[in-house]
Structure 1
Amino acid sequence: MKPATADGPYKVPRQHNGLRSGLMAVAMHAVLLMFLWVGVSWQNNEPTEVQAEIWDMKVQDAAPPAPTPEPKPAPEPEPEPEPVKAPPPQPVQAPPVPKEDPEIALERLKAKKKEEDRQEKLEQARLKKEADEKLAKLEAKKKADQKAKEEKEKAEQEEKDKALAAEKEKDKKKAAAEKLAKEKAEKADKAAKDKAFAAEMSRITGSAAKGTTGTAAQSTGGKVDGGYASKIRAKIKSNLVYGSQDDSLAASYTITQLPTGEIIGIRKVKSSGSSAYDSAIENAISKSSPLPTKNDGTVEREITLDFKLKEMH
């Protein structure tokens, strides 16, 4: 028996002559089966029936037919031979196992422990490799999803930008069309005002007389009379409502009027920088209609005036 070691109890050593014992056992069984088969075949042979006639020479007459012989009994079967018994196999004694040196057993244990550690490290390395491969696949899938998302968002943004650009272009065209329509309307309105002004001037000055026509033309052109401008500014000042004392404020407006002095248009030429002051000046101009005329009763169709706050106090 194998001596006990640190890694387990005693173990029975493996027998190396088991093949020879097995062959001997198979041969003995084969011989026994052959004897049994021979015995059975010998007992199965059927007996042969034998008949004989006996003649008496002294009898001259024909003898009556011989009686039918009775069947002979079957012979008793011979006893079966006893099978030859094979001698029992002799037990093979195992050779004595030499006792193992403790140092050799210790070295074997160390080698076994080292191999187990190596296998464990290999298993850990395999598991780590599988985990790293899974993690790499997840990272690659995550990057692919992120890239697909960014591309989708980029495509959506491009569609939005295209739609916005188309909308801006549409608004631009619409604004240009509105501006053109507004300019046409302003031109038409100006033409209508000019026509109305000319008709009113003709009515007042008597366009049938040539001399009068020249006078009317003179009254609507040329340099603006300072006294005439002062009268208009004074009337507008009387209607101005503004409480600030910032004397640096100044605005310029062009006023369009009929020959009777009625205001038909106010256009801001220069802003003062204060929307409140600009609104106050426009309201004062509107309230001042009709404006005063010149000393000869005529007016300037369009007159541009500066309204400085320090002069409007």
Structure 2
Amino acid sequence: MIRKNSEYPLQPPRERGTGRAFVFALVMHVLLGFFLYHGIQWQNSTPEGEEAELWTEVPDTATPRPVPPPPVPTAPPAPPLRDEQADIALQEKKRQQQEAAREAQLAEQQRQQKLQAQQEAEAKRQQQLAADQAAQKTAAAKQKQLQQQQQQQADKLKQQQLAEQQKQQQLKEQQQEQQKQAEAEAQKKADAQKAAKAKAQAEAAAQTKKLDTERRERLAQMQGAVGGTSSSSNGLGKSGTGSGSGGTAASPGYADKVRRAVLPNVSWGGEKEGLETVVSVRCSPTGTLLNATVSRSSGNAAWDAAALRAVRRTDPMPLDTNGKTPDNFLITLRPAS
């Protein structure tokens, strides 16, 4: 019988049948003693002697003959083998047979023990083989489970990457949509600014036209009132700062005086190349600014607004040499270099 759950797997197996072999050997020794005691008949009697008769030839006295040598004594013949020696030989033969039987029995026991050891070794080998196969199956199952886990992790990572790519794509599309909306709003704002600029230019042109019409009407009224023709003169500043025209003539130095008064009020930090704005001004004789509009735009609405703001800050306008301010005049403004 093989122990399946052994605490010491490397300990050699215990020999089985030791007690039975000891009992069997004891019985055999008892039987051997019995046969030796009753099977051998001990001979204690003295063996009988042998008798022999010796015959000699009578010598012839007539003719002397040579005396023969004395006979050589012969050894008595060996006594025949008696029953005692036969019994001893038989006992020796029985002993040898018993020894042979014991040796055969011992060889059989050794053979049985060897066979049992081989069977136990084979059973142990089979058990070890079954354990190895079970371990291999367990390892294969663990490997398969590990591969499944790795495949699941790879699938999960792939899904995460796909979701991240979709998220990035959606974000990119949103950014593109926002950029398109921003561009559309910028274009809309630019169109609105362009429309507002065109409207401002149209309004400025209409205002200038209106002022010119009013100025002509006043000149016509003044001419009709004085009954004659009055002369008008224009003054141009060397730096393009301004010019004046109207019912009251401006002196030659009035343009410089207006330029010196307006330029400190100009606040501009943008580009300066090619900007020139003409502002139409209407004042009272005391220099009070009545109205100021852009007569000719520079094309830059910001600079036009800065120039118009500087003119409106210059209130009142400087007086001319005659103590009065021309009622209508134009001021041409450029950014200071």
- State the TM-score, normalized to the length of structure 1: 0.46
- State the TM-score, normalized to the length of structure 2: 0.44
